[in-house]
Amino acid sequence: MIYGAITNSWRNQLDDADLGDLIAEAQSRGARHVELRQTCLGAAESGEGNAWRPNLEAMAGVVHRFPDLTFDLAVALPCITTDIDPDGGLYQSQLEAARLVGGGNPHLRTVDPGASDTPWESAEDVEEAAARIAPLVREAARQGVIFSMENSGQPLRSMALLVSEARAQLTEEEGQYLGLCPDPANQLRRHPDSHPLDELANLPTDYIKIVHFKQARDGVAIGSVDDGDLDCHAMRRILEGKAYDGPAVMEIPSADDVFENLAASFAYLDK
């Protein structure tokens, strides 16, 4: 796995620090991948909501400064609950930015903040969402961009059902561009009686495009990946058993000591 950081961990620092300098600090602490999260990109973005646009020149400057790192672009996109125009300006700008930062492996990681947390259990439950997702994936595949979805509200098993139904509307080649960003800690927070690691173990490997590690104790987020509600070492073993070798992003809360927490998280997972 490729240990990484995410720029929304640096909300406390972004007002007073250059994004590139923050990435350099993360790299010095052991990060080999950085997820560039919309709303936390400093001068590399402008606008909000549907008016959000990447500053491609600034974004290129950041990425080119770090030839030894890999990057993906993460955006809030209500693709599960809203009809998004695949040819619209917002989506096309997101794909363009993903291609710019992703190099030979461009990746757009999405999250729908409005997704229901009532678990989907049948094909009928995801029929409308799959119909919304498929055209977006088709366009992403045409441009060579991986399209992944984080499980912000749904369990992993339900997100896997959505991927399966959306892939059924695509060619086999197009379908390979669609997958998930599993975040078992998200699931445990929304569905405390569920078993996210079992569901992660049951995911087809090609569904897993990127993963998030975070931790909580008694449902309250803590500052680093450590002992807590989720067995993060078991999560790592599951991923290693699947021969997953992609990015593993530490999505830890912003804090003044965030870089110390980032390094501690890497060290903890390597124990």
- Per-residue model confidence (pLDDT) at position 13: 94
Helix boundaries (H) for the chain: 11-14, 19-28, 56-64, 89-102, 123-142, 156-167, 172-175, 184-190, 196-202, 232-241, 258-269
pTM as predicted:
0.95
- Per-residue model confidence (pLDDT) at position 205: 96
Q: Pick left, alpha or beta for residue 9 (phi over 0 → left; psi -120 to 50 → alpha; otherwise beta).
A: alpha
Q: What share of the chain is helix, strand, coil (3-state, %, to 5)?
A: 45, 15, 40
Alpha-carbon dihedral of residues 22, 217, 75, 105, nearest 10 degrees? 70
- Per-residue model confidence (pLDDT) at position 186: 92
- Per-residue model confidence (pLDDT) at position 156: 97
Q: What are the residue ranges in the chain where pLDDT is below 70?
A: none
- Per-residue model confidence (pLDDT) at position 248: 98
